[in-house]
Every structure is written in C-alpha cells, then in structure tokens.
Amino acid sequence: MAVNKTVNKRTNSHGAMRNCIEYVLRQDKTSEQLAYVTGPYCHDAINYALVYQTFLEEKKLWNKDSGRMYVHNIISWHKDEQITPEQAYEFGKEFAEKWFQGFQTLVAVHKDKDHIHCHLVTNSVSYEDGKKLHTTKKDLDRMKQFTNQMCRERGLTVAEKGKDFDGSQIEKGEVIAWSKDKYNLFRQQAKDSFVADCAMAVLKALENCISKEKFIEKMKQFGWSVNWTEKRKHITFQNQDGKKVRDSNLSKTFHLDISKEGLENEFNGNYKRIRAEAERTAGADKELIGYYRQVEAACEGTGGNSISLYSRATTI
C-alpha cells in the first residue's frame, strides 16, 4: 500500500530548496546506492551541493530562477508491506521518470523508520522546454491512480477506501494512524474509550514539546483542554464532550508517568535532543531545523496509515 503525499511548504526560495535536498540526502537516512537524479546530471557523485547546483543551473538557463523552486513528494509504504529498499528505489525512479517526465527529479529511499519511504524532489523548471511545473486537483487524483497502478503491477497492496491494510473493514470512529497498534493496546486496558483517546493525545502532544504551554496548546488541537495549576496536585484533561481524565488515572491504567514531574522531564529531554540534533547539523539555520521536523512528521503520518493520505494538490 503506497501513499503518495506532497509536502506543503513554502518552496519559493533557494534556501528552502537547498534545505530540502540536504535533508533528503542525509547520510543517516539514505545511501548513494539508493539515490538517483532523473534528467541532465553530469556528476559521478550524488550529494546535496551538486544536486542543488544542477537544479539552479537549469533554472538560470531558462531565466526562471524565481517563484516556486521545487516540488517535494513522499511515497510511503505500510510497515507490513513486503517491499525492500531496492524495490522502493526502482519504484521511485519509474514514478519520477514517467510522472515528472522532462523535469529533473532527485529520488532517494529512506529506511530509518519502521516503514520504507521514498523522497522525490522535482525541479520546477523543465529541462526540455523551460516550462514551469503546475499541479491541479485533477492531477492529484491521477497521481493517486498512477501510484495504485504501479502497486498492482508489482503485486503490492492497493489502498481501498474504508478498508484496513489487511482488507478488513474499518469501523466508524476507529483511529487509523501510525500509532494504531498502541491505541488498540490502550483500548484493551481501558474500560472507557475516551480514556484511551486521552492517553493517545498525550503521547502525540509530547512529541517535540519543550514546554508546558506548548503541550497544553497541542492538547487543545487534539480536542482536550488541560487544567494544570500550581494549586492542584493533579492535572485534569477534559474533552469536548465534558469527559474528564486525571493524570493519575492515565499513569495507573497504562503504566506511564503522566504526572507533572514526568511531563516536565519529557519536556527537558525533548529540549536536549532537539538542541543536540541542531548542533550535529553543522551550519543548519532555523529554517532547516524546522523543515526537518515537518518532514519527519509527514513521514510518521504516512507510514502506518491504513487510509489514503494523498494531500491536497499545490498549485506550482
């Protein structure tokens, strides 16, 4: 089951394109054996500096070095799909050469997650006639159908509306996400489903959170208000239906530390980790770090999904 997702992000600057190419070709995520550039590319090695320069040269050749610089797609397979990195690499190459025919496209397979995914970064200017790449809503549906067709030709599963990866029917209200297995485990442990919903919301909100304020903001986005005051020993979570869950209940039910101290420790750990990642990325600016986070989130969001997540098309 392949999900083809377009990463929606500001792509009208040289810095954005450089950051994207650098991310896709990071050595801790891919290897030179799983990287390829379609169209004109005169270099023996593939690294972000050479690919970036090649894209720029093509734009300048047609005097179109402004506006939208590139398009970034992620083709991701379910973690249970029987596909190797090499097969994903060939899949990505064929897709790029056929769908983005006439446009230079960097193809690179990442295998640093529990699911394989392939990144495609496409130059917005055609090397054949200098025309800019445009994508419409109709193109989005065609892209979905073409991706499914390629899956069928290779004997891979195809996403079906309303059905899980194994073909079973998805029940109304069922949570289908990268954390579905964890959610089902929570449901087995909790008598009330809203308690499991709260636990999942807490775990998702904790990702990359470095402060109490940010955590409360994220919980609100997931439909939960948070009563966290100095006067009260416990934190109380409340959903839009008025159902309340106390932090001690979550901790006891799911063997997690959802106390004030436990959450503060998570915030501190996230801060140290994010800071270390930034320091390891020599010369990375704030835009690059933010881009890393956004793409990581996109990858997590597509890998274990049992429903199609073809994102809305962006007009180039």
The pLDDT of residue 289:
61
* pLDDT single digits (tens) 194-223: 888 898 889 888 887 899 999 999 999 999
Residue 77's nearest CA partner among 93, 92, 65 is: 92
Do 275 and 4 touch, CB atoms closer than 8 A? no
- Beta-sheet strands, E only, within 34-128: 35-38, 70-77, 105-110, 117-123
Residue 121's nearest CA partner among 112, 131, 110, 136 is: 110
178 vs 284, higher pLDDT: 284
Question: Taking 60 as the threshold, does the pLDDT of residue 316 lie above it?
Answer: no
Q: How many CB atoms lie within 10 A of CB 241?
A: 8
Question: Taking 60 as the threshold, does the pLDDT of residue 305 lie above it?
Answer: no
294 pLDDT band, cuts 50/70/90, is low
Residue type present at position 217: E
Question: Taking 60 as the threshold, does the pLDDT of residue 60 lie above it?
Answer: yes
Do 212 and 270 touch, CB atoms closer than 8 A? no
Query: In the predicted model, what is the mean pLDDT of residues 29-50?
Result: 91
The pLDDT of residue 288:
59
Query: In the predicted model, what is the mean pLDDT of residues 121-135?
Result: 93
Question: Taking 50 as the threshold, does the pLDDT of residue 109 lie above it?
Answer: yes
204 vs 129, higher pLDDT: 129
Give residue for tokens 């956004």.
294
C-alpha to C-alpha distance for 235 and 258, rounded to whole angstroms: 9
The pLDDT of residue 180:
52
The pLDDT of residue 291:
64
Contacts made by residues 164-173, CB under 8 angstroms, sequence distance 24+: 164/306, 165/1, 165/78, 165/80, 165/81, 165/306, 170/306, 170/307
The region of weakest confidence among 107-111, 252-256, 294-298, 301-305 is 301-305
C-alpha to C-alpha distance for 315 and 104, rounded to whole angstroms: 18
pTM of the entire predicted model? 0.56
189 pLDDT band, cuts 50/70/90, is low
* pLDDT single digits (tens) 228-283: 999 899 999 999 999 999 999 888 887 778 899 999 988 988 888 777 766 665 45
Question: Taking 80 as the threshold, does the pLDDT of residue 292 lie above it?
Answer: no
**Where in the chain do CATH 3.30.930.30 domains reside?**
2-159
Q: Name the token pair of 163.
A: 């059905």
Q: What are phi and psi of 119, to 5 degrees?
A: -95, 140
Percentage of the chain surpassing pLDDT 70? 76
1 pLDDT band, cuts 50/70/90, is low
Question: Taking 70 as the threshold, does the pLDDT of residue 132 lie above it?
Answer: yes
| CATH for the stretch 2-159 | 3.30.930.30
299 pLDDT band, cuts 50/70/90, is low
Residue type present at position 43: H
Total residues belonging to the chain: 316
Please, which residues bridge with residue 92 across strands?
A: none
- Helix (H/G/I), strand (E/B), else coil: 51: helix
Residue 132's nearest CA partner among 74, 73, 72, 62 is: 62
